[in-house]
Amino acid sequence: MKLRRLLPAAALFAVLLPAQGLDPAALTLFHQPPNVWPTYNGDYSGRRYSSLDQITQSNIGSLKIDWMYRITSVGPQRGVGGPTIKSTPLMVDGILYFTIPDHIFALSARTGQELWHYGFEDKGGHLTGQRGVGMYRDWLYFETPDGWFISLDAKTGKERWRKKIADEKLQYFTTMAPLIVKNHVLVGVGGDAMDVKGYLESRDPETGDLQWRWYTTPVKMGDPGSETWPNQDAMDHGGGMTWMPGTYDPELNLIYWGTGNANPVFAGQARKGANLWTASIVALNPDTGKLVWYFQASPHDTHDWDNVETPVLFDAVIDGRPRKLLAQGSRAGWFFVLDRTNGHNLVSKPFAGTGNWAKGVDSRGQPIPDPAKEPQTNGSLIDMPALGATNWPPPSYDPKTGLFYLNATLGFGLSYLYDTSPHPQGYGGGGGGNFDTHSALLAMDVRTGVIRWRHEHGQDGSTGMSGGILTTAGDLLFTGDSGELVAFDPANGKPLWRQRLPLPVSNGPATWMLDGRQYLIAGAGDTLYALTLAR
């Protein structure tokens, strides 16, 4: 462990002394305090909607960069090049905490001055990304690429303890921002190179000790869900990773999590069946880890369509009565709305193409895969990108418009199968390629799944929509757009303001109040930008 302080110790102490840490009361479903961004998504709902309205459509022209912080102390990272900020910073007591793989930074939210920097030397993990930290009182929680779960003192950056949660020798890797629910720190895993099974863990915030572990495939034949697998071996190597943070409803006491694709990824002939609970949304009791309900977005997935996209929670009146709902824009190109109390389906509608990889939906609203659209030795054509219609960058839901927003990739895909053996092993067994693709910002009606408006781009896959989405009570939607940070009107998609950046937006933007000023924070490559209204 390496800890680097930019400020002298005495000055650092003076800066941090007033901090009281994160009050657990700030972790709520919908009511986020204005002067804090306490979780990866801002609150438990995953809506990424802020009630702040100091920055509005009428004054957005005065929004300017107030400060920027560029990572200069970390060189190119193994296998991924220069540092890229994919995390959403937490902001507590005037301090920002954000990450890249193997590193945590604490900055003054007022000036962008570095307060401390924690560095970790991993032993072979995949440095594909890092989504951020979790926080409980004065403690931070962080996952390293090679499977360590680490707690730091938020005031000093000093390591408190570390626990091993995944074996990098089995090609597990860990990238998610931990989610704190009551006295549970929820941590997930990634990795499908060696056909391992996924799991979600709850850890004690005081000690890091394991409280429970839930596997994303059944433990043994005869258990519920095992009927969707042909045998024990297929289940034991079945995948279903949990590499993005979920959401939580305190009233129902349920956590909602997305699970990854089944393994082997493209060659599914040795795992006939739906392969529960891969490529699904699951609702678990956070105190026990017991499964309460599930909904499978891509049964028997053979396209690498991780279903880890945020399960967004919101309340709305449907058919004249208030409903507790969950919406997800899935990587499989379908938009779903569920009753989050029981998983009952209200909407299943493709947003990319016609959803022609499926024959339709079953009685639960789950797509029914068409075997003819699975990877084939001579290629199989689908009318959405073969590698997915969206990915991990977070969506948003605006309760004022009743619309769900996500950045999508549209076009066509070809999927190939090259391992036709009865029992394929290893990561792939096939592959896919996209063509005629373009990106688009989509706004979907949560009651029908109809796309109310879209902002589209051209054919160059290196440009277009980027990063996640934030909506605010100032009637603004922020996201990345062809190397710019852009504000749209969330009601109709009209661009209202744009800020050119050297690199595309690479994280989910966030907002908070500090000293009476509303700030917007966004990462683009190796630099964090803080914007506020010009004085």
Active site residue ranges: 304
Residues 37 and 28: their CA atoms lie apart, in Å, by: 11
Structure-token pair, residue 420: 């036709």
The owner of tokens 């781009």 is 457
3-state helix, strand, coil in the chain (%, to 5): 5, 40, 55
Structure-token pair, residue 327: 């919406």
For residue 308, which amino acid is it? V
Residues 438 and 408: their CA atoms lie apart, in Å, by: 9
Q: How many helices (H) and strands (E) does the chain have?
A: 2, 37
Residues 141 and 178: their CA atoms lie apart, in Å, by: 7
Residues 512 and 66: their CA atoms lie apart, in Å, by: 14
Max distance between CA atoms of the chain, in angstroms, equals 68
Phi first, then psi: give them for residue 162, nearest 5 degrees: -140, 145
Structure-token pair, residue 477: 């939607």
Residues 218 and 391: their CA atoms lie apart, in Å, by: 26
Taking the CB of residue 448, how many other CB atoms lie within 10 A of it?
Answer: 13
Q: 13: Cβ–Cβ under 8 A, 6 or more apart, which residues?
A: none
Q: 297: Cβ–Cβ under 8 A, 6 or more apart, which residues?
A: 279, 280, 281, 305, 307, 328, 330, 332, 334, 336, 366, 367
Q: 261: Cβ–Cβ under 8 A, 6 or more apart, which residues?
A: 192, 239, 240, 241, 278, 279, 298, 301, 303, 304, 305, 306, 307
| Burial group, residue 508, by CB count within 10 angstroms (0-12, 13-18, 19+) | buried
Residues 172 and 12: their CA atoms lie apart, in Å, by: 37
